[in-house]
């Protein structure tokens, strides 16, 4: 995985044109697509919902776990948002359904000093976010896309959706929520990707010397 990160840093892009009527919705350097590219590291995990759980730990009053059934009984929220992948594709008006992180937070027992969160996911993936970002109205733990349960390749049974950041922050197959006093980088962040990842500021990498190729996403499987 480290070699892949190094390769992505070294290729010069050719920026695509974006239709003027949607240009305000599309971050710089992005291509709009109707496809839904499938990008991930490692194998696609498979789960038995009867044994699946979401662990909450770190700076909390007490550690606990949620079953999928427990999460499904909480208030459910639908969002319609544009999503932006660091590999230069943007998909408009995607519909997701799940549990809003802000609705879940009161059940998690986070300590007052917790200001950051590390999202842990299979396979051996993690990504970091400020807690205040997770409390936005459109950040959800999603179980459904476009009116149907997530497919295995898109993160079933649960993935994080953070529409205002590059999509590597919207981790698939999430298994843990770790509250932290201090920030620390996740997998891609340790491999040269930007720590925050605002698409409209093109926060792709931690250094301006790195470049993302235009066509990387075209080489991937897609729906």
Q: What is the pTM of this model?
A: 0.89
Q: Please report the pLDDT score of residue 160 as a whole number.
A: 98
Count CB-CB contacts under 10 A for residue 151: 13
Residue 8 — very low, low, confident or very high, per pLDDT cuts 50/70/90? Answer: low
Phi, psi dihedral angles at 57 (to 5 degrees): -155, -175
d(CA 213, CA 104): 37
The whole domain housing 15 covers 2-219
* Total number of domains in the chain: 1
66-100: pLDDT as tens digits: 999 999 999 999 999 999 999 999 999 999 999 99
pLDDT at residue 52 is higher than 70: yes
pLDDT at residue 50 is higher than 80: yes
CATH code for the domain in which residue 10 is found: 3.90.420.10
pLDDT at residue 13 is higher than 70: no
> Mean pLDDT throughout 157-165?
98
Return the structure tokens found at 37. 């590219």
Q: What is the mean pLDDT of the chain?
A: 91
Which region among 20-29, 67-76, 210-219 has the lowest average model confidence (pLDDT)? 210-219
pLDDT at residue 14 is higher than 60: no
Q: Do 161 and 142 meet the contact criterion of CB atoms below 8 Å apart?
A: yes
Q: Please report the pLDDT score of residue 137 as a whole number.
A: 97
Q: Do 134 and 101 meet the contact criterion of CB atoms below 8 Å apart?
A: yes
Q: Which helix (H) or strand (E) holds 149?
A: strand 148-149
| DSSP codes of every residue in 170-205 | S-SSEEEEEEESS----HHHHTTB-SS--GGGT--B
Q: Please report the pLDDT score of residue 124 as a whole number.
A: 87
97-129: pLDDT as tens digits: 999 999 999 999 999 999 999 999 998 899 999
Count CB-CB contacts under 10 A for residue 190: 15
Q: Please report the pLDDT score of residue 12 as a whole number.
A: 47
CA-nearest of 91, 49, 44, 93 to 71 is 49
d(CA 18, CA 28): 9
């Amino acid at each position: 995985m480290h070699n892949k990160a190094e390769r992505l840093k070294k290729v010069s892009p050719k920026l695509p044109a974006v239709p003027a009527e949607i240009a305000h919705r599309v971050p710089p350097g992005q291509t709009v697509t109707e496809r839904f590219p499938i990008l991930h590291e490692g194998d696609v995990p498979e789960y038995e919902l009867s044994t699946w759980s979401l662990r909450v730990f770190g700076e909390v009053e007490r550690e606990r776990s949620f079953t999928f059934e427990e999460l499904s009984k909480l208030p459910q929220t639908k969002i319609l948002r544009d999503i932006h992948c660091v590999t230069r594709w943007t998909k408009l008006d995607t519909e997701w359904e799940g549990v809003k992180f802000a609705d879940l937070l009161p059940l998690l027992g986070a300590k007052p000093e917790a200001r950051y969160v590390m999202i842990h996911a299979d396979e051996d993936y993690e990504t970091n976010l400020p807690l205040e970002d997770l409390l936005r109205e459109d950040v959800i733990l999603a179980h459904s896309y476009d009116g149907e349960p997530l497919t295995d390749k898109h993160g079933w049974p649960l993935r994080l959706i953070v529409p205002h950041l590059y999509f590597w922050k919207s981790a698939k197959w999430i298994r843990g929520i770790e509250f932290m006093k201090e920030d620390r980088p996740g997998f891609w962040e340790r491999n040269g990707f930007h720590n925050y990842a605002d698409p409209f500021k093109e926060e792709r990498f931690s250094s301006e010397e790195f470049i993302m190729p235009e066509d990387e996403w075209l080489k991937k499987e897609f729906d």
